[in-house]
Each structure stands twice: as C-alpha cells, then as structure tokens.
Amino acid sequence: MPVNILMPALSPTMEKGNLAKWTKKEGDKVKPGDVIAEIETDKATMEVEAVDEGILARILVAEGTQDVAVNEVIAVLTQDGEDASAASAPAPAAKPQEPTPEAAAMRADQSAPPAAPAVMATPPSAAPQPTIAADPDVPAGTEMVTMTVREALRDAMAEEMRKDEAVFVMGEEVAEYQGAYKITQGLLQEFGARRVIDTPITEHGFAGIGVGAAFTGLKPIVEFMTFNFAMQAIDQIINSAAKTLYMSGGQMGCPIVFRGPNGAAARVAAQHSQDYSAWYSHIPGLKVVAPYTAADAKGLLKAAIRDPNPVIFLENEILYGQSFEVPKLDDFVLPIGKARIHRPGKDVTIVAWSIGMTYATKAAAELEKLGIDAEVIDLRSLRPLDTETIIASVMKTGRIVTVEEGWQQSGVGAEISARVVERAFDYLDAPPARVSGKDVPMPYAANLEKLALPSVADVIEAVKAVTYK
C-alpha cells in the first residue's frame, strides 16, 4: 500500500506551516528516521523524518510553499513496484503520519499530540482583523503596519531594553532557545546574556530573585512559560511583589512585569489550561493587563515595563500568531486601566478581553445579520478595571454580556456584573449575562474541550437572551 506523508503539527496550536525544504527527491529510497523535509512556522523549524521504509514516489507540495495546512498530503511513499498515483488522495488522513518532537510548547510532555484541524478548540485566524474601531490613543492618520501579537510583544521588550539599561528579561528558555513561544526571539543576540537570562525550571526561586532585584530599582521582565507554572511562584508575586510598597509605607517599590501565556491553548488539558484573570485581578498592589490585539500588546507591554508597580501581563498562546494593524510610531505606549470600544453599537454591550474578544467579535458580526447592533468593549486591563467605560455603554444599551474563558464563580464577569448592578441598575433592561468556561477542569478530549470553552454560539445565545430575541 502506498503511504501518504502528511504535513505534521509542531505544536498543539499549529494550524499551518511552510514547507521550507525537501532533503530527499522523488525516486529516493528512504528508511525510518531519514530526514526527508524541513518545515517551519513563525515559532520554529523542524525536520520531518520518515516513519516507513520505501521510495519517495511523489512530492505533492513543492519546497518553499507557504501556509501548508496541517494534515495536508505532502508526499507519497511506495514500496517497490507500487503505483504512487493510487495513494494521492486529496483528503487528509485522520491523523498525521509523522509524529514530531514537541516544539517546547509543553515541557511536561515528550511528544506532540497529533493536532487535527477539524477539532481545533479555537477557530484559526491569522488574517488581519477587520473593523476595529479607531483607538483614541492613536493619532488620526498614523501609518499602520501589520504584525503578529508575537512580534509586537518582542518589539515592545526590545524597544524598552534599548531605552533603559535597568530592564532585563529572565525566564525559562528565553535566551538561547529564543523563547518557548518565540516571544523573546532575537533578544539574546541584541542584548547579550547579561540582560537576557535563561533560568532553571524553578519558578518560585526566580520569581523571588526578580522581585528582590526590583526592590533595588532594576526593572525585570519575568517570563513564565505559561501562567499555569506561576502558581509555583504566586507567593512571591502576591506576598512580596504586590504588598511590599504598602508594608514599607511607600519606601520600597517593585517595578516588575510578570508575563507569559495565560488560559487554554489547545488540547493541553487541565493543568496547562487555566485562566488566571480573576486570581490576579483580585489583588490590590498589582496591575493586570490582558490584551487582544497586537497594537494593545505592544503599547501596553511598553507601559507595563515603565510602570513602577508590579504588572501581571496575561498573554494568550492562540493569539500569538494572529496579525493586527499596529501604529507605526517611534514610541507607542498605551495607558493601563483604559478599555477600548472595539465595535460601537447600540443594542447590547459585550465585554471581553484577550482571547474572549475572538468570541465577542465573531458573535457581533453574526448578530448584525440578525439585526442586533452590539457594542464590543475590549477591557485590555483587568486592574484597574475601566468601570466608567462599561457603565457608560450599559447606560446606552441597557444590556450586558460578559465573555471569559475562566470559571464563573468569583470571576471577572461576576465582578463586572456586580458593578453594573450597583451603578447602572436602573438602566438595565435585562439581568447581566455571563458567558464563561464551564465549571470543570479542562478536559483533554477534543469534543469535551470544545464544550468546556465558551463559544461564539454561547455569546449569541446570551445576547439573544438579554435582548429577548
């Protein structure tokens, strides 16, 4: 039987990649372990090894091809005497042929889970996002450039490190590996090992070291590979970083940024999928930022690095590869604690942040077709929380739906609902509605994971409920 060789996934969130190079040509004999091709994403380059013995009968995707979907047939392997044409079925197989070593996305696992695009938890979207309302903090007529959230974060750090010698970045794999998620790509080369520091896998210890350094006036950026691992360090974040200014009567500040991906990625199950928005936004003495767009990621990370207080900067792995328009300004800094009206509307207010914005914006587009004009607020910061913007919107629309991936109990949506009820009760035409992650640990199975996360349909349903449609 001829064997189809499929485009492999390098990580749980990879949806497509580039076929950089074929290292074997048609007609070559291959045996298991032979490198047959090199593929790359914006995060990493990996070699594709043959699993079966045979002849590389046909190459279906030429080298240099961009954006090859995971599981697409890229070549056909035959045994002696077989006809390759029989195997070149266009439909992807159920699972990738080539298991590849994981691309550092999950250090706990030694092999990558096969990723099948049909069951990805989150809809892919690498295209620039349309219809974003103009940011009042960006001057009209500013030239825009398209870049990914990943590039925006990297640029923010690089710009601040150029500007201020006291800024340095530390964390697991941030230097020589170029970042587990490639957010620190190139920083080691530009700033050297003194300022881009690989740490051992000891979150509690290096978070404490960062805080101690910040007490002396240095401005550390502490990267957690994901915020799930920051639970190891949460004592230093809360008891030392957040409280010392108060406990010292204002003498000892802590200008530090803790950043990294927060919340669910894809198919990484309960211990690697938690959303910490509510946890950190509970704490006085912290600022908490959770951007959605690349522009906000850049402008707010620069603000966070300059902020004299400890800032929790919650990123999202699925957003890293998404592209947005970013203002081309020499020094683009946005204010922490200010929400942005992402889409103006009059019938209902949808409040979201980070990945929650993907559900909110898609729902708003669908709702438009149903004749419902939704106003989408991108909170951007969770502490300070821009209550004014929410209240003003609710006074206009009379209805509110909050969207978050975190759990409902004591969640950010619960807090927003309480504030709206306290301050705009008489303006409400319906009880506030919350769309959230389900009240379960994140399951691994693709179908269950999808059920556990909020969806565009959930948001539409909630909006219909509060608008009595």
Q: How far is the CB of 274 from other proteins (least distance, A)?
A: 21
The region, left, alpha or beta by phi > 0 then psi within -120 to 50, assigned to residue 368 is alpha
Assess contact for 376 and 359: CB atoms under 8 A. no
Q: Structure tokens of 155?
A: 């640029």
Beta strand pairing status for 257-261 and 311-315?
parallel
272 carries an active-site annotation:
yes
Residues in contact with 72: Cβ distance below 8 Å, sequence separation at least 6, in sequence order: 6, 7, 61, 92
Q: Catalytic residue among 98, 102, 272, 415, which?
A: 272
Cα–Cα distance, 63 to 21 (Å, whole number): 5
Q: How far is the CB of 447 from other proteins (least distance, A)?
A: 38
Residues written for the chain: 469
List the interface residues with other proteins, window 244-263 (CB under 8 A).
244-253
Please, which residue, 333 or 424, has the CB nearer to other proteins? 333
**Count helices and strands in the chain by DSSP H and E runs:** 13, 22
Given 85, 111, 146, 239, the residue binding other proteins (CB under 8 A): 239
Check residue 240 for interaction with other proteins (CB under 8 A): yes
Q: How far is the CB of 170 from other proteins (least distance, A)?
A: 9
Cα–Cα distance, 464 to 14 (Å, whole number): 33
List the interface residues with other proteins, window 261-300 (CB under 8 A).
284-285, 287
Q: How far is the CB of 195 from other proteins (least distance, A)?
A: 8
3-class DSSP state for residue 388? helix
Q: Which stretch of DSSP H or E encloses residue 235? A: helix 234-235
The strand order across the sheet containing 287-289 reads: 196-198, 167-171, 219-223, 257-261, 311-315, 287-289, 381-383
- # binding residues, other proteins (CB under 8 A): 42
Q: How far is the CB of 175 from other proteins (least distance, A)?
A: 9
* DSSP secondary structure letters along 155-171: HHHHHHHHH-TTEEEEE
Q: Catalytic residue among 172, 173, 203, 375, which?
A: 203
Q: Structure tokens of 333?
A: 């800094």
DSSP letter assigned to residue 118: G
Please, which residue, 110 or 216, has the CB nearer to other proteins? 216
Please, which residue, 204 or 282, has the CB nearer to other proteins? 204
List the interface residues with other proteins, window 180-219 (CB under 8 A).
193-194, 197-200, 202, 204-218
List the interface residues with other proteins, window 294-333 (CB under 8 A).
308-309
Please, which residue, 56 or 222, has the CB nearer to other proteins? 222
Please, which residue, 73 or 256, has the CB nearer to other proteins? 256
Please, which residue, 99 or 212, has the CB nearer to other proteins? 212
Check residue 179 for interaction with other proteins (CB under 8 A): no
203 carries an active-site annotation:
yes
> Quick one: which segment of 61-69, 235-243, 316-324, 432-440 binds other proteins (CB under 8 A)?
235-243
Cα–Cα distance, 363 to 368 (Å, whole number): 9
- Closest alpha carbon to 405 in 274, 249, 302: 274
Q: How far is the CB of 402 from other proteins (least distance, A)?
A: 25
User: What residues line the site for other proteins (CB under 8 A)?
Assistant: 168, 193-194, 197-200, 202, 204-218, 235-236, 239-240, 244-253, 284-285, 287, 308-309
- Residue numbers annotated as active site: 203, 272
